[in-house]
Amino acid sequence: MNNLETKNSVFESIKHINEYGNEFWYARELQTVLEYKRWDKFLNVINASIKSCANSNNNVNDHFSQMGKMIELAKGAKRNVLDYKLSRYACYLIVQNADPKKEVVALGQTYFAIQTRRQELNDLEYDKLSEDDKRFYQRNLTRKGNYSLNQTAKNAGVKNFDKFHNAGYKGLYGGETADDIFKRKKLRYREDILDNMGSDELIANLFRISQTNQRLMNDNVKRENNANKTHYKVGKIVRNAIKQAGGTMPEDLPTPKKSLKEIEKQTKKVSL
């Protein structure tokens, strides 16, 4: 087991499976893993996450199931305390709203982001996909994510979207703008940089996109300059999470030999 798998296993170790085969986590156990000593502090994170869930038009009860739990006190006494059964998506929202300065939170952000964005496919189905099919799958998610992000950014007051998106790229790519990435990949005129990324690089960008969207909504960010700063900050958080997890920096990942548009054209020719 490699270093990243070892660190990720802490989240797998507290995962539960119900009688229907559905996975869930207990908030009290997640609190311990995320190194929150006080429940009231962690409850603030949960409440912010519930708000994010509702703002995304998801049914809160499907992801945050409130329950009671008996805990042992001194001298054998017991007390009923509040707890939650959490879906993977709920955990994803919680690590987004948790303290990013905690290393384990940054690792949790990477872990739950990647797993949550695979929710339309189960892990076995996803792992069986070819690299090109994984690219198409992740590219479709980034396209949807960018659409939502643009809408949220527009509501925050963004007008110069090139500058806004460059802020995110600069945070994630250590200062590189979209044009810098374009040149480094040696792309042709009007080629899309996202169409020329491998699945891992697309996942990193999807994490940046989705978390920025959540942060803009959660913090009720207003004014273009503040939105740009938020996008840069989130990009940098994702970059730090990759570094802490021992991953490869996005600018060091290989560029696929063929763009997704090239593959689409070739597939159409074959099918004719």
Q: Kindly give, in sequence order, each residue whose CB lies less than 8 Å from that of residue 26, ignoring residues fewer than 6 positions away.
A: 14, 16, 69, 83, 84, 85, 86
Q: Is 30 exposed, middle or buried (0-12, 13-18, 19+ CB in 10 A)?
A: buried
pLDDT of amino acid 79: 74
Average pLDDT, the chain: 86
Average pLDDT over residues 79-97: 89
Q: Out of 125-134, 169-178, 216-225, which region has the weakest mean confidence (pLDDT)?
A: 125-134
Strands (E), 139-224: none
Higher pLDDT, 84 or 96: 84
* Amino acid 217: pLDDT: 87
pLDDT at 196 over 90: yes
Place of tokens 């480094």: 184
pTM above 0.85, yes or no: no
SS3 247: coil
pLDDT digits (tens, 9 = 90+) for 110-138: 777 666 655 555 666 777 889 999 999 88
> Average pLDDT in the 192-217 region?
93
Range with lowest mean pLDDT among 18-22, 71-75, 173-177, 183-187: 71-75
pLDDT at 244: 83
Integer-rounded Cα radius of gyration of the chain: 20
Whether residue 98 is predicted with pLDDT greater than 70 in this model: the reply is yes
Share of the chain above pLDDT 90, in %: 54
More confident of the two residues 20 and 53: 53
At residue 22, the pLDDT reads 78
The answer on pLDDT for 43 being more than 90 is yes
Confidence of residue 165 (pLDDT cuts 50, 70, 90): very high
Token couple for 156: 């925050």
Q: Residue 36: helix, strand or coil by DSSP?
A: coil
